[in-house]
Amino acid sequence: EIVLTQSPGTLSLSPGERATLSCRASQSVSSRYLAWYQQKPGQAPRLLIYGASSRTSGIPDRFSGSGSGTDFTLTISRLEPEDFAVYYCQQYGSSPRTFGQGTKVEI
């Protein structure tokens, strides 16, 4: 099983600032099958990024993903008030599909 470790656990930032979230895998993620999800309280997760760097339709371009192998990054270039949420990475190249423990981006 691939274990994903996200850091930091909590990121305290202000609107307009840049957020950099890390996701490290215990072994190489096949074919860059790494996704990022955003979850707000009381809501289902929302897919932001798949294939490590491809934005899902409708996701603003301030969200970008990068990385390969075992190290991946989600960057939010300029935080908007609606971006404060919990972010999860997930690998889907091998079974079982696993999620990281999440990074909370708070004001």
Partner 1 sequence: EVQLVESGGGLVQPGGSLRLSCAGSGFRFSSYWMHWVRQVPGKGLVWVSRTDTDGSSTTYVDSVKGRFTISRDNAKNTLYLEMNSLRAEDTAVYYCAREYVLLIGANRYYHGMDVWGQGTTVTVSS
Binding site for partner 1 (CB under 8 A): 33, 35, 37, 39, 44-47, 49-51, 56, 88, 90, 92-93, 95-102
Identify whether the C-beta of residue 65 lies closer than 8 Å to the C-beta of residue 74: yes
Q: How far is the CB of 38 from partner 1 (least distance, A)?
A: 11
Instruction: Tell me whether residue 15 or residue 69 sits nearer to partner 1 (CB atom).
Output: 69
- Identify the three-state secondary structure at position 56: coil
Specify whether the CB–CB gap between 35 and 89 falls below 8 A.
yes
CB nearer partner 1, residue 28 or residue 102: 102
Residue 77 identity (one-letter amino acid): S
Nearer to partner 1 among residue 44 and residue 107 (C-beta): 44
Angstrom distance (rounded) from CA 34 to CA 17: 25
Give 20's strand partners: 75
Tokens matching residue 52: 């490590």
Nearer to partner 1, 83 or 91 (CB): 91
Q: How far is the CB of 63 from partner 1 (least distance, A)?
A: 14
CB of 97 to partner 1, least distance (A): 4
